[in-house]
C-alpha cells in the first residue's frame, strides 16, 4: 500500500511526499513532532504539520542562514542560534575558524534529542567543543545577554506558538542590544509567494532598528513555494560589500562567495515587498 504525507502549506496548496515509514510521532510540551522517511527527500522532521528539514535539501537552508552572515562579519567569535534544534545551522557555524563560542538556544529539548537520534548528519555539530546547548526561550536569552554576540541567527519555526514573538519589533530591538557595536543578525522570513505581508512587515520592523537591512533568497524545494527569504539587520557591515575573493572555500554544496552576492539580487515583485 502507498502512504503519502501532505503538508497543507496554505488553505489551497500542499506538498505531498510518498513515505516509506513513519519513525516517530509525539506531542512535546511545545508542539507536535514527527519523523518520516520519504522516498524523494529522505528523512524529514515535521513540527506542527510543517516540514522543518529533510536530508536531501537541508543544506540549502543551513548554509544560507549561516555563511551569508558569518562571511559578512570580518571576525565572528560569539555566535548565537535561536531555535535551530535540528543542529544544522550550528554544524555550519563551527566550520568558521574565527568562531570561539557557538550557543544554541532551543525552547524544546525534545527537538534536539530527536534530531540527535534520527538526524546524525544534521545534528553532528552539536557535539563540537565550541558549542553550548541551552534549553530556554530565545527571547529571554537575548534580553539577558547585552552587548555580547557578534552574530545572532534566528532559525525559528513559522510565526505560530512560541515563535510568534520572534517576528516582533520588540524582539528586533532586544537583538540589537544583545549584539556588539558591529554585530549583525539574520532571520528566516518565509516565502515571498505565500507570506508577502510577513516579509514586508519584518523588513520594515528590522529597518527601524538596524541601519543596514537586506533581504536575500534561496531555493528550497520542501519549503512553501520553494523560494525562501532571509532578512539581515546589520549595525556596520553590508553583506553586499563583501570581498568575494577573500572568502575562504568552506566545504559547502549551495553557498559560494559569488552566490552570496547574487542572492541579494531580487526579482522585481520581491523588491516591491520591501520598498518603503
Nearer CB in complex with ligand SAM: 164/244: 164
Which residue among the candidates 155, 238, 243, 249 is catalytic per the annotation? 155
Count of CB atoms within 10 A of residue 92's CB? Answer: 26
State yes or no: residue 206 binds ligand SAM (CB under 6 A): no
Interacting stretch for ligand SAM, rule CB under 6 A, among 9-17, 94-102, 142-150, 151-159? 151-159
Q: How far is CA 263 from the centre of its chain?
A: 15
For residues 154 and 66, the answer to whether their CB atoms sit within 8 Å is no
For residues 175 and 210, the answer to whether their CB atoms sit within 8 Å is no
Q: Is 155 a catalytic residue?
A: yes
Q: CB 202 → ligand SAM: shortest distance, Å? A: 14
Nearer CB in complex with ligand SAM: 13/244: 13
Interacting stretch for ligand SAM, rule CB under 6 A, among 84-92, 195-203, 233-241, 249-257? 84-92
**What string of DSSP letters covers 227-244?**
EEEEEEEESS--GGG--G
For residues 21 and 36, the answer to whether their CB atoms sit within 8 Å is yes
Q: Which ranges constitute the DSSP H helices of 120-195?
A: 120-123, 138-144, 169-178
Nearer CB in complex with ligand SAM: 52/66: 52
State yes or no: residue 63 binds ligand SAM (CB under 6 A): no
State yes or no: residue 153 binds ligand SAM (CB under 6 A): no
State yes or no: residue 137 binds ligand SAM (CB under 6 A): yes
State yes or no: residue 218 binds ligand SAM (CB under 6 A): no
State yes or no: residue 52 binds ligand SAM (CB under 6 A): yes
Whole-number Cα distances in Å, 137 to 30, 35, 66: 11, 23, 21
Q: CB 83 → ligand SAM: shortest distance, Å? A: 3
Indicate the angle between helix axes 196-209 and 169-178, nearest 10 degrees: 40
State yes or no: residue 159 binds ligand SAM (CB under 6 A): no
What cell numbers appear for 35 in the block?
Answer: 519523523
What cell numbers appear for 190 in the block?
Answer: 518565509
Query: What positions carry a catalytic annotation?
Result: 155
Interface with ligand SAM by CB under 6 A: which residues?
Answer: 30, 47, 52-53, 61, 82-86, 105-108, 111, 137-139, 155-157, 162-163, 166, 188
Amino acid at each position: 500500500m502507498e502512504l503519502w504525507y501532505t503538508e497543507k502549506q496554505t488553505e489551497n496548496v500542499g506538498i505531498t511526499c510518498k513515505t516509506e515509514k513513519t519513525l516517530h510521532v509525539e506531542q512535546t510540551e511545545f508542539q507536535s513532532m514527527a519523523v518520516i522517511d520519504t522516498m524523494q527527500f529522505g528523512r524529514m522532521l515535521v513540527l506542527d504539520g510543517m516540514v522543518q528539514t529533510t536530508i536531501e535539501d537541508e543544506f540549502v537552508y543551513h548554509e544560507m542562514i549561516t555563511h551569508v552572515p558569518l562571511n559578512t562579519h570580518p571576525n565572528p567569535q560569539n555566535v548565537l542560534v535561536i531555535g535551530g534544534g535540528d543542529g544544522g545551522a550550528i554544524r555550519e557555524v563551527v566550520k568558521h575558524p574565527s568562531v570561539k563560542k557557538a550557543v544554541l538556544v532551543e525552547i524544546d529539548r525534545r527537538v534536539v534529542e530527536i534530531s540527535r537520534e534520527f538526524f546524525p548528519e544534521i545534528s553532528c555539530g552539536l557535539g563540537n567543543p565550541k558549542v553550548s546547548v541551552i534549553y530556554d526561550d530565545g527571547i529571554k536569552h537575548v534580553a539577558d545577554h547585552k552587548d555580547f554576540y557578534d552574530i545572532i541567527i534566528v532559525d525559528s519555526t513559522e510565526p505560530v506558538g512560541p515563535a510568534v514573538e520572534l517576528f516582533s519589533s520588540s524582539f528586533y530591538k532586544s537583538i540589537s542590544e544583545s549584539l556588539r557595536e558591529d554585530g549583525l543578525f539574520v532571520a528566516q522570513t518565509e516565502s515571498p509567494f505565500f507570506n508577502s505581508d510577513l516579509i514586508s512587515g519584518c523588513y520594515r520592523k528590522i529597518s527601524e532598528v538596524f541601519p543596514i537591512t537586506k533581504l536575500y533568497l534561496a531555493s528550497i524545494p520542501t519549503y512553501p513555494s520553494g523560494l525562501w527569504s532571509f532578512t539581515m539587520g546589520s549595525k556596520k557591515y553590508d553583506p553586499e560589500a563583501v570581498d568575494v575573493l577573500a572568502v575562504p572555500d568552506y566545504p559547502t554544496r549551495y553557498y559560494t562567495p559569488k552566490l552570496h552576492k547574487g542572492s541579494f539580487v531580487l526579482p522585481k515583485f520581491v523588491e516591491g515587498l520591501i520598498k518603503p
